[in-house]
Amino acid sequence: MKPAIDFYFDFSSPYSYIASEWIGAVAARHGRTVNWRAILLGATFQVSGLRPPAEFPMKREYLFRDVARSAAFAGVPLRMPEPFPIPTQNAARVFWWLKAQDPAQAVAWARAGLRAYFARGVNLSDAVALKALCAEAGLDAEAAEAAWNDPQWKLALKQANEQAIAAGVFGAPFVVVDGEPFWGNDRQAQIEAWLTAGPPRGLE
């Protein structure tokens, strides 16, 4: 059994959304599973000293165009939501709450949350909208709300952020294959090549 691929994502990251639509298939093609890990980029930005790309007007304009093009290129339905970005700690806490019970259900929630925000504009930072999305996803919405207000799952997310930072994660999506870090939706081809043939010559 080959080790799982780590997949770090933030519910407010459009490139994470695009990658979330292919990471499972890529892993499966190579006999791997995916260890999904919801994080908050806000936490990694604080430690790395980086700032969200959308805060820089020139980069923000490009980002919107590139996200739309990258989604179309990957065949993923996407409509940049307003507002963007949004705080996503509640959606992330629901993820970790679910993962402790049933990792497959956590993955289903991750995909549902990313799709809802980036394909339909569902504002995951709005408690009412988030509860409605939980119900739509077949979860107990009251229990989900209790979980995102529960110190236990707040702590679980905090620890997930700390683990990510310790692993060198400074952006999302961030994929780690057998210790090798890949940052960005645009590293799909390199991830595939690595899974197929291992390190390229000179990088063993």
Beta-strand pair 174-177/180-183: antiparallel
Residue among 87, 138, 168, 198 that touches a copy of itself (CB under 8 A) = 168
Q: What angle do CA 131, 136, 139 make, to 5 degrees?
A: 70
Answer yes or no: 48 catalytic.
no
60-79 residues near a copy of itself, rule: CB under 8 A = 61-62, 65-66, 68-70, 72-73
Residue among 22, 33, 42, 59 that touches a copy of itself (CB under 8 A) = 59
Report the distance separating Cα 49 and Cα 8, nearest Å: 19
Report the distance separating Cα 22 and Cα 16, nearest Å: 10
Least gap, CB of 71 to a copy of itself (angstroms): 9
Would you say 29 or 56 has its CB closer to a copy of itself? 56
x/- binding map, residues 111-130, to a copy of itself, per CB under 8 A? --------------------
Least gap, CB of 99 to a copy of itself (angstroms): 25
Does the footprint of a copy of itself cover residue 24 (CB under 8 A)? Answer: no
| Binding residues for a copy of itself, total number by CB under 8 A | 34
DSSP labels for 15-48?
HHHHHHTTHHHHHHHTT--EEEEE--HHHHHHHH
> Hunting for tokens 């695009």 — which residue is that?
18
Does the footprint of a copy of itself cover residue 170 (CB under 8 A)? Answer: yes
Q: How many CB atoms lie within 10 A of CB 37?
A: 24
Report the distance separating Cα 70 and Cα 16, nearest Å: 12
Reading the block at residue 58, the tokens are 């020139």
Does the footprint of a copy of itself cover residue 201 (CB under 8 A)? Answer: yes
Where does this chain bind a copy of itself (CB under 8 A)? 47-50, 56-59, 61-62, 65-66, 68-70, 72-73, 168, 170, 180-184, 186-187, 189-190, 193, 199-203
Catalytic positions, please?
A: 13
